[in-house]
């Protein structure tokens, strides 16, 4: 190509100018991130313009800080303000990841050189603890091959305890304030002990619940009764990371106030529309959520359209209707907020007045 190559840069030249390797440039070409200006149809050689040097250097820098490829592709084509937003979001992820790594290293140091178990004691309101347990109990797993999920995580902080449960298809969180004496601790409480504790909380007694954690030993005093048990010796999934991977850092595209009783009635109506999908080798009746012309939640028929054939939002989210009913019951309250982001994004069920209590349901592909 006489007279053309002199105005362009070979892949090796761009590699030297940008700090990317030749193999990395080939990868970003195949990924549609940084495509060459010209490819020789005979030799297959890639050629780049002067204007592609700066984007290549941007790609190299984003790669060094570990930004995911889809976000790198967005950054290369975005305006500066959007790139700054991507950088801010990625920096938050890195900070969260560093905090996660520090917690894990602390745990590993304890495994290598275990110290005598510290004792942490909590005083909790019986009613507040009961409400928190009710908000997460539905999401406890029942798979005998995953005993780590047949429990509730008690993540004790300086001023309370966060309760977390998941069965992989749904995740539920709640928080109860507490007077805490001792260091923060995470303890995995088996579902049998959780249910026994919950039964005691129905006793009409205003005295605080005293929960004592000493290593793996658990002791709970409720009114005149005492429960003892042992924490499960499993590592519960990193729920903070799960939250970042599911509901993410940005606000949901749709935050829809719903009347709990009306939605429950619609879901339990024998004539409620569903779509049949196969899941785990069995047929599952999937509820499809969408919006009407006023932006209100509705159940879509199998075709995903309103009876008049009009679907103003185009939003279609498949969910296990039984799981959604469980989440509504666990959340309590006459008014809730559903957060939807699209057909493959998880659905969040929130209380409008409690940011610490919510559940996340995984969608069903339609």
The pLDDT tens digits of the residues spanning 206-218 come to: 789 999 999 899 9
pLDDT for position 2: 41
Do residues 282 and 329 share a domain? yes
Tell me the average pLDDT across 116-133: 92
Using the 3D structure, point to which of 198, 230, 262 is the last residue of a domain: 230
Using the 3D structure, point to which of 230, 260, 275 is the last residue of a domain: 230
Which residues lie closer than 8 Å to 329 by C-beta, 6 or more apart? 138, 264
127 occurs within a structural domain: yes
214 occurs within a structural domain: yes
Question: What is the widest separation between alpha-carbon atoms in the chain?
Answer: 93
- 353 close to 306: Cβ distance less than 8 angstroms: no
C-alpha 262/C-alpha 352 separation (Å) is 17
Query: CA nearest 48: which of 11, 3, 6?
Result: 11
Query: CA nearest 229: which of 256, 272, 189?
Result: 189
Residue 304 has pLDDT above 70, yes or no: no
Residue 348 has pLDDT above 50, yes or no: yes
Do residues 123 and 225 share a domain? yes
Higher pLDDT, 222 or 114: 222
Task: Convert the pLDDT of each residue in 242-273 to its tens digit.
Answer: 888 777 666 788 899 999 999 999 999 998 99
Do residues 123 and 219 share a domain? yes
C-alpha 325/C-alpha 265 separation (Å) is 10
Tell me which residue range forms the domain holding 145.
Answer: 119-230
Do residues 214 and 253 share a domain? no
C-alpha 140/C-alpha 194 separation (Å) is 10
Do residues 225 and 254 share a domain? no
Residue 77 has pLDDT above 50, yes or no: yes
pLDDT band at 312 (very low <50, low <70, confident <90, very high): low
Dihedral angle sign, alpha carbons of residues 249, 252, 255, 261: negative
C-alpha 299/C-alpha 258 separation (Å) is 12
DSSP-based three-state secondary structure for 300: coil
Using the 3D structure, point to which of 230, 265, 285 is the last residue of a domain: 230
Domain with residue 25: its CATH number is 1.10.1660.10
pLDDT for position 28: 94
Domain count within the chain = 3
Do residues 182 and 273 share a domain? no
pLDDT for position 153: 97
Mean pLDDT (the chain) is 88
Tokens, residue 188: 């995995």
Do residues 296 and 259 share a domain? yes
* Model confidence, pTM: 0.70
pLDDT for position 6: 55
Do residues 222 and 251 share a domain? no
Do residues 73 and 16 share a domain? yes
Do residues 192 and 263 share a domain? no
Task: Convert the pLDDT of each residue in 156-176 to its tens digit.
Answer: 999 999 999 999 999 999 999
Residue 64 has pLDDT above 60, yes or no: yes
Residue 152 has pLDDT above 90, yes or no: yes
pLDDT for position 1: 44
97 occurs within a structural domain: no
- Residues of the chain with pLDDT > 90: what percent? 63
C-alpha 128/C-alpha 177 separation (Å) is 8
Do residues 263 and 318 share a domain? yes
Residue 316 has pLDDT above 80, yes or no: yes
- Residues of the chain with pLDDT > 70: what percent? 93
83, with CB counted inside 10 A (0-12, 13-18, 19+), is middle
Task: Convert the pLDDT of each residue in 132-144 to its tens digit.
Answer: 999 999 999 999 8
Domain with residue 260: its CATH number is 3.10.150.10
Provide the b/e sequence for 141-159 (b: ≥16 CB within 10 Å): beeeeeebbbbbbbbbeee
Residue 145: CA count within 13 A, CB half-sphere: 1
pLDDT band at 307 (very low <50, low <70, confident <90, very high): very low
Do residues 143 and 201 share a domain? yes
C-alpha 58/C-alpha 41 separation (Å) is 28
């Amino acid at each position: 190509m006489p007279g053309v190559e002199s105005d362009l840069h070979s892949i090796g030249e761009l590699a030297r100018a940008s700090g990317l390797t030749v193999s990395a440039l080939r990868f970003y070409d195949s990924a549609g991130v940084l495509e060459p200006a010209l490819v020789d149809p005979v030799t297959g050689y890639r050629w780049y313009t002067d204007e592609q040097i700066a984007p290549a250097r941007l790609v190299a820098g984003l790669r060094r800080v570990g930004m995911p490829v889809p976000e790198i592709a967005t950054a290369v084509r975005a305006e500066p303000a959007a790139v700054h937003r991507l950088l801010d979001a990625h920096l938050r992820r890195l900070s969260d990841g560093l905090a996660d790594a520090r917690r894990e290293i602390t745990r590993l140091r304890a495994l290598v050189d275990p110290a005598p178990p510290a004792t942490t004691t909590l005083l909790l309101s019986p009613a507040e603890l009961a409400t928190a347990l009710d908000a997460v109990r539905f999401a406890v797993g029942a798979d005998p091959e995953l005993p780590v999920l047949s429990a509730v995580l008690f993540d004790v902080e300086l001023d309370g305890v966060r309760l977390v449960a998941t069965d992989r298809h749904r995740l539920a969180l709640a928080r109860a304030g507490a007077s805490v004496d001792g260091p923060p601790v995470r303890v995995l409480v088996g579902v049998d002990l959780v249910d026994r504790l919950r039964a005691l909380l129905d006793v009409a007694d205003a005295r605080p619940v005293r929960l004592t954690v000493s290593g793996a030993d658990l002791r709970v005093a409720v009114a005149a009764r005492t429960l003892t048990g042992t924490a499960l010796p499993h590592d519960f999934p990193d729920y903070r990371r799960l939250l970042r991977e599911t509901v993410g850092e940005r606000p949901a595209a749709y935050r829809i106030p719903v009347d709990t009783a009306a939605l429950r009635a619609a879901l339990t109506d024998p004539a409620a529309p569903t779509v049949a999908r196969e899941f785990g080798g069995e047929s599952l009746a999937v509820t499809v959520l969408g919006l009407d012309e006023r932006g209100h939640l509705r159940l879509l028929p199998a075709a995903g359209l309103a009876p008049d054939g009009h679907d103003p939002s185009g939003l279609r989210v498949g969910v296990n209707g039984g799981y959604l009913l469980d989440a509504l019951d666990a959340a309590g309250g006459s008014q809730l907020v559903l957060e939807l982001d699209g057909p493959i994004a998880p659905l969040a069920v929130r209380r409008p007045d409690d940011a610490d209590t919510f559940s996340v349901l995984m969608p069903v592909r339609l």
